[in-house]
Amino acid sequence: MIAIYYYFVFVVLAFLSPFLLLKKKARAGLGQKLGFVPASIRTKAPELKNCVWFHAVSVGEFNAILPLVKAFHERHPETPLVVSTTTATGQKLAREKIGDIACVIYFPIDFPPPIHTWLKLLAPRLVIIAETEIWPGFTHECRKRGIKVMVVNGRISPRSFKSYHRLRFFFGPVLARFSVIGVQSPEEAKRYFAVGGDLLKVEVLGNIKFDGLKPISAAAKNDLARQINLPDGAVVVVAGSTHESEEACVLKTYNQLLDTTLGARARLIIVPRHPERFDRVAELIKEYDLIPRRHSLGQAFTGAKGEVYLLDVIGKLFDFYSLSTVAFVGGTLAPVGGHNIMEPYAYAVPVVVGPRTEKVKDLMDALTAQQAIIQGKNEGAVIDGLLTFVHNEDLRRKAGLAGEEILLKSQGAVAKAVTLIESQLNVPLIASEVSGAAGHDR
């Protein structure tokens, strides 16, 4: 079966090679992904032998495991760490946040030569995969070398589950190669068992992302407000992790809000999900007869009517949620399936989302049951939801506090994950309690 899979990967790579070479986004880290090790990494390879290797695809997955990496390093500072990502944005953020404690690399393409190169160079004691990554080739090659591979913060979305379950004859044996699978919830555990069988070793840890959601201090919040010249008493809508079409929705909301009695106090902050869209969103703001103020240019609100603050940088969204009155979380009007809908609740800020929340279904069920969130079935309903929260302070407060309570009750997964990692490393447990991982540092 693995030979057939490798043949399939080879054909796909041959077919996609022109795209990989010509597309700037696809070229990011391509040399490392193909097994070419930079001299800077090769020279320190002896220090990395027997490392613990964490893998996170992109920004979202990296932010999820960031508190876990920090907590593990605090407990075992002598253990060399490697962190890999697949995307350039994830790579940049990883280097900024943990480049001082870990070697940051690109994850190899799932084909023998690049996998062999990196496994031989690093000889990891343990590989820890974040969330949904299931690489048949990589797990096969690790199994051949006696390298344990485990999952943390594991999840299979309801939509992905249909495909995995239909192909369980293939993915079931792949899942069996993991020494243990740490999942976010009992519902996720059921999905893994349905694909891989009852003999899988699955542990319910909770969602590590929640442990990273520690609100910034009041002083830091005030400094942030001063940096962007946000007036006291401002009514702030923060639209986070937005995709194509979603900025248009919040810009329409903002134009409507400007024409109400709250218009003079209204402010909008937009945070696009992908850096390559920053310039396009700036132009879109102008198309709606509004004024973009760009973070990358050191700009701020001036008090002019219709200003929109464009946070065109990666890794600052969580901090800016502290300034919000109400939040829209992207990837929910666009056909993505939802991003981290819990971040605003660290500040008791209520959330509005669109209909596409299949990736966060379990969280949506919990938030909806406590009336902590408004889900609009289309653009118009999302606009109505945002305006409802803006104009109804009592409803907004109750929804925000309900979501915050769900978040706080869900924390504690990092400590469980560190203990699970130690069990795979056969490291003696330390009596002292694992901290919540040094907080959220985006």
Residue 11 buriedness (CB in 10 A; 0-12 / 13-18 / 19+): exposed
- Domain 218-409 CATH superfamily: Glycogen Phosphorylase B; (3.40.50.2000)
Residue count of the chain, please give it.
442
Q: The dihedral of CA 276, 282, 285, 287: what is its sign?
A: negative
Q: The dihedral of CA 381, 61, 98, 436: what is its sign?
A: positive
What is the domain class of 28-212+411-425 according to CATH?
A: alpha beta
CA distances 343 to 54, 151, 216, 403, Å, are 23, 23, 12, 10
| pTM exceeds cut of 0.85 | no
Domain range list for the chain: 28-212+411-425, 218-409
369-381 core/surface letters (b: 16 or more CB in 10 A; e: else):
eeebbbbbeebee
CB within 8 Å of 82: residues ≥ 6 apart: 48, 51, 52, 53, 54, 102, 103, 104, 105, 122, 124
Q: Is-same-fold flag (28-212+411-425; 218-409)? A: yes
Q: What is the pLDDT of residues 82-112, one digit of tens each?
A: 999 999 999 999 999 999 999 999 999 999 9
pLDDT of res. 60: 85
CB 78 within 8 A of CB 427: no
Instruction: Kindly state the DSSP code that residue 427 receives in the 8-state scheme.
Output: P
Token pair of 244 as six digits: 């194509």
SS3 state at 302: coil
CA distances 286 to 230, 235, 308, 313, Å, are 21, 21, 10, 19
d(CA 399, CA 81): 40
Q: What is the DSSP string of 335-401?
A: TT----TTGGGGGT--EEE-S--GGGHHHHHHHHHTT-EEE-SSHHHHHHHHHHHHH-HHHHHHHHH
d(CA 87, CA 102): 17
Q: What is the DSSP string of 201-220?
A: -EEE---HHHHT-PPPPHHH
Q: Are strands 291-294 and 266-272 parallel, antiparallel or unpaired?
A: unpaired
Backbone angles phi, psi at 342, to 5 degrees: -90, -15
Local confidence pLDDT in tens for the 442 residues of the chain: 899 999 888 888 788 777 766 676 667 888 999 999 999 999 999 999 999 999 999 988 998 899 999 999 999 999 999 999 999 999 999 999 999 999 999 999 999 999 999 999 999 999 999 998 889 999 999 999 999 999 999 999 877 899 999 999 999 999 999 999 999 989 899 999 999 999 999 999 999 989 889 999 999 999 999 999 999 999 999 999 999 999 999 999 999 999 999 999 999 999 999 999 999 999 999 999 999 999 999 999 999 999 999 999 988 999 999 999 999 999 999 999 999 999 999 999 999 999 999 988 889 999 999 999 999 999 999 999 999 999 999 999 999 999 999 999 989 999 999 999 999 998 544 434 444 444 443 3
d(CA 359, CA 362): 8
